């Protein structure tokens, strides 16, 4: 994507700051630049036309950059797209950097930004957004394939995820492949801790909204080639295949937990905070091969450990 094709929104309550950033971007060849004097105006602009990159000031009246980021991430999740976000801040230090990334910010720059660095960061953020949107498009295409599988009774009708039969069929295939080629297979079982109490406090419709959102979040947290299935009312399973066992990293599981815990679930009853727990079993292809039923039982035992220990969250 060339710089002339990029759609950029600058959000800052100070007109001078907006003009300085826009001027620097125009000199770098970025022509599709819009300016907003508040987070509310920026959100309205996004409804009129999507943006590839948002450049927002951290400290703004009414709604700051972190709050704007949360709303954009929620909007992206609903629309199935990804918008890159860069925050400007007068703050410096690791604590602010970590806080920004925890809220879903892609990058941040100290004010006033260096024009050359600004252009380079915008270009990098645009590449990230393009890659993420390509992956989402792949996921959409896979979802269309899954819709076809409904005729084969391999799909959970509520969420669109695979069902238990779908998971077991793919798990068996991946185990055989890993055993013959010395690869690896990871099975992660994910449960939402508070869904039972939410079900008692609200109706089934609210629970279904959460389960549908859960599948969407899991889909964004894993690779397009990973298998996601809903095993029962409150447990999802993810099968990850690795051609080499060294490719498996626990951070991939931690990312899934982060997608569940770090943002509330939007429902008709309001935003609900829910925590997840995960049980993981990893099969190495150089081990004696096990059946898909054994693999599932071992992962359930790990889930029981994570479920009973509130401080554990993930049991490997």
Which element (helix H / strand E) includes 276? strand 276-284
Domain extent listing, the chain: 3-135, 153-315
* pLDDT of the residue at 5: 77
**Is residue 158 classed as helix, strand or coil in its secondary structure?**
coil
Whole-number Cα distances in Å, 53 to 8, 85, 107, 128, 154: 5, 6, 11, 10, 38
- Span 7-31, pLDDT tens digits: 999 999 999 989 999 999 999 999 8
User: With DSSP H G I counted as helix, E B as strand and the rest as coil, what are the percentages for the chain, rounded to 5?
Assistant: 50, 20, 30
**Is residue 118 classed as helix, strand or coil in its secondary structure?**
helix
Q: Is the model's pLDDT at 2 over the cut of 60?
A: no
Lowest-confidence range among 93-97, 227-231, 266-270, 311-315? 93-97
- Span 211-267, pLDDT tens digits: 999 999 999 889 888 999 999 889 999 999 998 888 888 888 999 999 899 889 999
Question: CATH class for domain 3-135?
Answer: alpha beta
* pLDDT of the residue at 47: 93
Confidence (pTM): 0.56
**Contact between residue 240 and residue 252 where contact means Cβ atoms under 8 Å apart:** yes
Same fold, 3-135 and 153-315: no
Residue 38: count other Cβ atoms within 10 Å of its Cβ.
16
For the domain spanning 153-315, the CATH number is 3.30.70.270
The alpha helices in 224-308, defined as continuous H runs, are 251-261, 292-308
SS (H, E, C) 163-184: CHHHHHHHHHHHHHHHHHHCCE
């Amino acid at each position: 994507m060339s710089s002339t094709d990029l759609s950029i929104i600058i959000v800052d309550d100070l007109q001078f700051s907006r003009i300085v950033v826009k001027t620097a971007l125009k000199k770098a060849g970025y022509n599709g630049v819009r300016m907003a004097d508040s987070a509310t105006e920026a959100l309205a602009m996004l409804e009129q036309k999507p943006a590839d990159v948002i450049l927002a000031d951290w400290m703004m009246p009414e709604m700051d950059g972190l709050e704007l980021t949360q709303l954009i991430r929620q909007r992206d999740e609903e629309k199935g797209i990804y918008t890159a976000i860069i925050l400007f801040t007068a703050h410096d230090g690791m604590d602010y950097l970590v806080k920004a990334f925890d809220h879903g910010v892609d990058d941040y720059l100290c004010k006033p930004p260096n024009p050359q660095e600004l252009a380079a960061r915008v270009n990098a953020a645009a590449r990230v957004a393009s890659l993420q949107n390509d992956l989402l498009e792949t996921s959409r295409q896979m979802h269309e394939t899954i819709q076809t599988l409904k005729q084969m009774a391999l799909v959970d009708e509520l969420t669109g995820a695979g069902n238990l039969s779908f998971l077991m069929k793919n798990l068996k295939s991946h185990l055989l492949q890993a055993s013959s080629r010395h690869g690896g297979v990871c099975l992660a079982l994910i449960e939402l801790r508070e869904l039972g109490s939410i079900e008692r406090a609200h109706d089934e419709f609210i629970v279904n909204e959460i389960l549908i959102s859960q599948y969407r979040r899991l889909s964004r947290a894993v690779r397009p080639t990973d298998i996601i299935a809903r095993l029962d009312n409150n447990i999802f399973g993810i099968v990850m295949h690795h051609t080499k066992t060294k490719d498996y990293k626990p951070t991939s599981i931690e990312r899934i937990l982060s997608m569940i815990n770090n943002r509330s679930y939007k429902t008709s009853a309001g935003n609900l905070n829910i925590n997840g727990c995960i049980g993981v079993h990893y099969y190495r292809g150089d081990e004696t091969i096990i059946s898909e039923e054994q693999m599932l039982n071992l992962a359930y035992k790990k889930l029981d450990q994570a479920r009973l220990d509130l401080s554990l969250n993930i049991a490997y």
